[in-house]
Amino acid sequence: MADAGSRLALFLFDRSRPCREGCEEEKLISFFPSAASQDRRKGFIGLVEGLINFTSIFSPDKPCELMRAGRHRQILLQCEPEIWMVLIVGEDIASSEVRTGAIRQALKETYEAIVLLTGSLRNAITEDATLQRVRRNAAPIMSDMWARMTAPKRNPTNEFNLLTNSLSGREGMPLLPLPRSMFLSVQFIVNVLESAYGGNTVLNTMILFDHQLVWTGLPPSDARALYRFASRCLLPQQVASGSRSRARSSSMSAPPEPATAFGTPFRPGEWKAGSDGFLTATDPSPGEPRVPLIHSTNGTKYQLVVYHQEAITLLLLFKESAPEASSAAYRNQLSGMVDAHLRTLGPGLEEHFQAPNRWHVPGYRYLFVDRALSNVRHSPDSKVATLSKESLAVLGSLRSQLEELDALKGGISGWKRWPTHDPQEAGVIHPLVPLLKSILAHH
Amino acid sequence: MYDDGNLLLLVASKNKLFSWPVDKVLSLNSPDEAESPTVSFLNEGPVISARFSLDGRILAVQRTATDVEFVNREDASEFWQRCRKGERLLGLFWVNTPECDCVFVTTGGLELYQLLPARNGVRAVDVKKHTVAWYTYTHETRLALLSSGATAPVRLAGYQFATSGVIRLPRFDLPSQASERNKRAVSITGKDVKLLTMYGRMYCAHVDLHAGLLVLYRFYRDALVRQHTYPLYSRHVDLSIVDQALVVHNIDSGVVLVLDVLSSSTHPLASPLPLALPPVIDHNDNTLEVEPYNSGWDFIGPDLLLDTQHGIFWRQQLDLGSLTHSCSDRCTLMSFLQRRREDGALPAGFSRPRQLSLNVVKTMIQDCDPLPVISRTFMVLCTAYEESRNQARSVQGSSEPNNFGESGLLPRSPAVSPEEMQRSVFEPLEEEMSSGGAYLLACVAEYIRCVDVTNLSCPASLSLLLVQLLQREDRLHQLNSWLPVLSRKSVSNTIAIEVAEISKLYKPSIQTVQDLLQNQQGQETYVRLLLREGRIVEALRYVRRHRVESVPPTIFLDAAKELGDPAIYTTVFRFCSEFVPNFANMADYPAYTRKLHGIIHRGPAPATQSRAHTSAARAAGL
């Protein structure tokens, strides 16, 4: 596996699918690079299956999560029972500065995006045993991830570049407390929307101000995926108006292997704002419902309607069967109900979020993660960028150690060498001590 | 005749004048209780009108179109006064101003007279010259409105006889709102114009039958401003003011419309309602059949009603219950109810405004009214409560609060406190509304918002209800977002204990408990909560991290002893000996040490024991 072609591969497969010996590639739902030969694919899948089979002898519930070889890592993520997403990445592409935990997080995000936009993989497999459907569901999102991983190294949108930031807060959403009166005003808006028309039309709401999460009523796992999706392509600054959108979408992320858009558009620029403030998908595929659907982890489907008012983004989750979601008259009535309130809320939120050092504690670089609620609080990226490369590396390795410690606590054993304590290392990370405290405290 | 200056009902016979105080008559339950009236003896002759002076000592009787007879009731002496030559007397009234005591209204204007000190005559003080076609005066407003003509537009001149002196109001032309074509023929007479006082404001009401409108002009010191216009639904109307509400009697259809000048709506408060008459029993115990709005009816004073045909006298009262039932705009209704008096005397079967307000708001929530309407209604309730609380405070001064019972309100105020709202509306609803919990939750949140906006304090029970509803609606994941609402210093401990219960079912909410218990007292509560659940090591860790010093170490040791786990006991003991100053000098130290030795001797082999010792200490993160 030391040859050039094996340095990067991303694939998704269903381990439970029966297949004849020698035809293991039939288990694949998705494989990148797509130019890889049948044999290569078979080789990868065979190795990974071997690893899983072997480790599950010792730990049947949580088999292998990581295989670290001399010059590459294999990161395995069991997304759903027997459905695995695997990334094989060489040292030259993702150096040791990129934490395994961060890569695993990126894989998790990809999986969560697939579920959010197309529903559970296992369901798709059950509904269509030929795997056609699940392949179609996963392809665009997997290919988007692949495109970001293979972007030129110097490009800031290169996924591995982004992953070197150990304080990015990608683990959750920044839902931070608002002042009491503002929170109650937000509640009023949410409640007006959700109680409108008998209270059985808009089932859930998410509100963002710029990229800040203001309110979500969804359970954390769904909220996290939806927030990520919204902050990536539904915010006012990412929504192009009319014809410019296509050019912009291609410049933002040019998938080298274009996949046909399917279901809910998920790339920045694939939504455009109408004159009434509601967003529509720029290129709805023929035959698809006009209002995109999103799927919660418990299987509920919602129609997603997005409304902008200046910097405020409202995500309205309509009941799947509600015809009102696609009716312009109804939508306008709904927005009319809350417009005035949003307009008064806007300046308040702006003042709140833009107050100096609102989310940033000067002198510290930190990340706080509340895993149970998927809440994060972290230093702004611009402040993290002021850290020296060495500090970042120390931070990264520290987080790796914490993650491994976490894994140990979870009952998984591993062969690992515990690094010796180096006082100089502690000196470098001195300004980060509060961070360590909060992470440690959390663990 | 009605003497509004002294609230007397007057009846003149051949040579006597009977007078009954209105209040006494109205408080009677049956005609048999009737007290005999006060009788004043008069000379024989016609009586056009009669009025007692404001101190009741002199009776003025208009005998002819020009002459008034004054009778001193103390010594029965009498004197006469004639109005100025060439004028015709339209009426007279007594006033209480520094310069004059009695005013004649004649076709030539006002004549002001002062009583001589000996009370045996009057002296002309002043004359205000106007051409007067008709006039209207009420003692309530102390205002005389003089009209120059009887066809629209009429020019009105007004004088107010305040205790400080006579104030002249600016002239005002009262137009008719009828269309241009009919304007010339429109007549405006004294019957069409009525002086009204509502909520301490003075109005001139013009019943413009030709235009089908009721127009209210409000008196300001320097102007008369048109303020309200209401449509009329009848050719014959009469107006009354009952409990500050404007009551329009539609004589043709026999129904009553109730208008409220403080409401922004021009619609009547409720659908037309009939005027209910209580059964009238005459002297022989027969029930009299009284036909409402018969020709003998006379609307006198603001709210009185005289049936000259049957000899019956009523005071009108609002049946708030019926109004509530037939009202569709409940938000307007609520502000109306909140402006009523809570302590008025009510006939049996009538509901008090506070109870009605509570019923209305409860029904609104049960009927799932749109949230913005609910919000406005809550706002009305909270504002009313805040205002009447401030009133109560300013009345009693700040020295002794809560002189007015639990609510701290004046007895006349029907305002509803947040506590009462919780007790009488939300709590029963929480049990009744098995479905629609999300809506109820929205209402509770909205009520809390209104309570906040009006600077009231939100009772802990309301926040607790919020938590319960979140749990009931399966929305515990939102609990942490609600922190800004739940964390109020005075209430957060109570709520934290409730949330701690919940956290047994939904683990992540323990974070909310911690956040709620940030204050010093709260930290102690949190430690005890952890101990109660047997999470001793966690409690130790918390104590160390947050430097909680108020919890005695023995509590941990006792809790560990109860738990019976030797490793934990050892850990706590070691923690104490390491971090508690003077631990070894404590009174109970020997007892705990003995216990430790007991554990070691009873416990497993020493080798295992020492490992348990260290691993426990490590688990505690020490």
pLDDT given at position A285: 56
Task: Assess if residue B431 is contained within a domain.
Answer: no
Find chain B residues with C-beta within 8 A of A337's C-beta: 372
Find chain B residues with C-beta within 8 A of A199's C-beta: 368, 436, 438-439
To the nearest whole Å, the CA of A440 is away from the closest chain B CA by: 10
Query: Which two three-digit tokens encode residue A202?
Result: 């808009």
Q: At what angle do helices B330-338 and B353-366 cross, to 10 degrees?
A: 160
Around A98, how many Cα atoms within 13 Å sit in the side-chain half-sphere?
21
Domain C-terminal end among B105, B129, B153: B129
Whole-number Cα distances in Å, B610 to B63, B175, B564, B605, B616: 120, 104, 17, 9, 10
Average pLDDT over chain A, rounded to whole?
A: 78
Q: Give the C-alpha separation, A374 to A169, whole Å.
A: 10
Query: Is the CB of residue B398 less than 8 Å from the CB of residue B404?
Result: no
Percent of chain B topping pLDDT 70: 91
Structural domain for B42, as ranges: 1-129
Task: Assess if residue B66 is contained within a domain.
Answer: yes
Domain C-terminal end among B75, B99, B129: B129
Q: Give the C-alpha separation, B154 to B171, whole Å.
A: 10
pLDDT given at position A106: 92
Rounded mean pLDDT of B486-504?
79
Query: Is the CB of residue A256 less than 8 Å from the CB of residue A147?
Result: yes
Find chain B residues with C-beta within 8 A of A177's C-beta: 481, 483-484
Task: Assess if residue B62 is contained within a domain.
Answer: yes
Q: Give the C-alpha separation, B519 to B505, whole Å.
A: 25
Angle at B192 between CA B190 and CA B196, to 5 degrees: 90
A313 φ/ψ angles, rounded to the nearest 5 degrees: -115, 125
Among B511, B527, B533, B617, which Cα is nearest to A442's? B511
From B368, B439, B452, residue closest to A180, measured CB to CB: B452
Q: How do strand B245-250 and strand B237-242 relate by DSSP bridges?
A: antiparallel
Whole-number Cα distances in Å, B256 to A275, B9, B276: 50, 25, 10
Which CATH number among 3.90.1150.10, 1.10.8.10, 3.30.450.30, 3.90.650.10 corresponds to the domain A180-354?
Answer: 3.30.450.30
Kindly report which listed range (B192-201, B268-277, B320-329, B528-537) carries the lowest average pLDDT score: B528-537
Query: Is the CB of residue B39 less than 8 Å from the CB of residue B48?
Result: no
Query: Which two three-digit tokens encode residue B586?
Result: 């404590």
Mutate to test the interface with B, among A173, A178, A180 (most CBs of B within 10 A): A180
Q: Give the C-alpha separation, B519 to B512, whole Å.
A: 13
Q: At what angle do helices A132-149 and A100-118 cross, to 10 degrees?
A: 140
Distance of CA B117 to the CA centre of its chain: 46
Count how many domains chain B has. Answer: 2
What residue in A sits closest to B452 (Cα-Cα)? A181
Q: What is the pLDDT of residues B244-258, one digit of tens each?
A: 899 999 888 888 888
Domain C-terminal end among B96, B129, B162: B129
Mutate to test the interface with B, among A184, A200, A345 (most CBs of B within 10 A): A184
Query: Is the CB of residue B507 less than 8 Å from the CB of residue B498?
Result: no
Determine whether the interchain pair A179/B484 forms a contact, defined as Cβ–Cβ distance below 8 Å.
yes
* Structural fold of domain A4-163: Beta-Lactamase (3.30.450)
Whole-number Cα distances in Å, B338 to B198, B219, B605: 15, 25, 78
Query: Is the CB of residue B24 less than 8 Å from the CB of residue B7?
Result: no
Q: At what angle do helices B566-579 and B606-619 cross, to 10 degrees?
A: 60
Q: Give the C-alpha separation, B555 to A414, whole Å.
A: 40
Determine whether the interchain pair B442/A177 forms a contact, defined as Cβ–Cβ distance below 8 Å.
no
Q: What is the pLDDT of residues B19-31, one digit of tens each?
A: 888 877 776 665 5
pLDDT given at position B342: 82
Q: Where are the domains of chain A?
A: 4-163, 180-354, 367-442
Q: Give the C-alpha separation, A440 to A421, whole Å.
A: 17
Q: In this structure, what DSSP letter does residue B546 have?
A: H
Q: Give the C-alpha separation, B365 to B200, whole Å.
A: 34
pLDDT given at position B393: 83
Determine whether the interchain pair A184/B449 forms a contact, defined as Cβ–Cβ distance below 8 Å.
yes
Block means of pLDDT (10 residues each) for chain A, 443 residues, are 62 88 85 88 90 85 82 90 92 84 91 90 89 87 88 82 82 84 92 87 91 90 90 78 37 38 63 81 59 87 90 91 83 89 91 76 77 80 80 82 68 39 32 41 40
To the nearest whole Å, the CA of A182 is away from the closest chain B CA by: 9
Task: Assess if residue B40 is contained within a domain.
Answer: yes
Task: Assess if residue B193 is contained within a domain.
Answer: no
CB of B474 within 8 Å of any CB in chain A? Answer: no
Q: Give the C-alpha separation, B550 to B542, whole Å.
A: 13
pLDDT given at position A227: 92
Task: Assess if residue B373 is contained within a domain.
Answer: no
To the nearest whole Å, the CA of B303 is away from the closest chain A CA by: 43
Task: Assess if residue B272 is contained within a domain.
Answer: no
Find chain A residues with C-beta within 8 A of B475's C-beta: 217
CATH number of the domain that residue B25 is part of: 2.130.10.10
Report ipTM (2 d.p.): 0.80
Percent of chain A topping pLDDT 90: 18
Q: What is the pLDDT of residues B468-480, one digit of tens each?
A: 899 888 888 888 8
What residue in A sits closest to B620 (Cα-Cα)? A441
pLDDT given at position A421: 39
Q: Give the C-alpha separation, A234 to A18, whole Å.
A: 40
Q: How many beta-carbon pairs below 8 A join chains A and B?
A: 73
Whole-number Cα distances in Å, A285 to A128, A145, A260, A270: 20, 21, 9, 12
Query: Is the CB of residue B353 less than 8 Å from the CB of residue B338?
Result: yes
What residue in A sits closest to B510 (Cα-Cα)? A372
pLDDT band with cut points at 50, 70 and 90 for residue B404:
low
Task: Assess if residue B360 is contained within a domain.
Answer: no
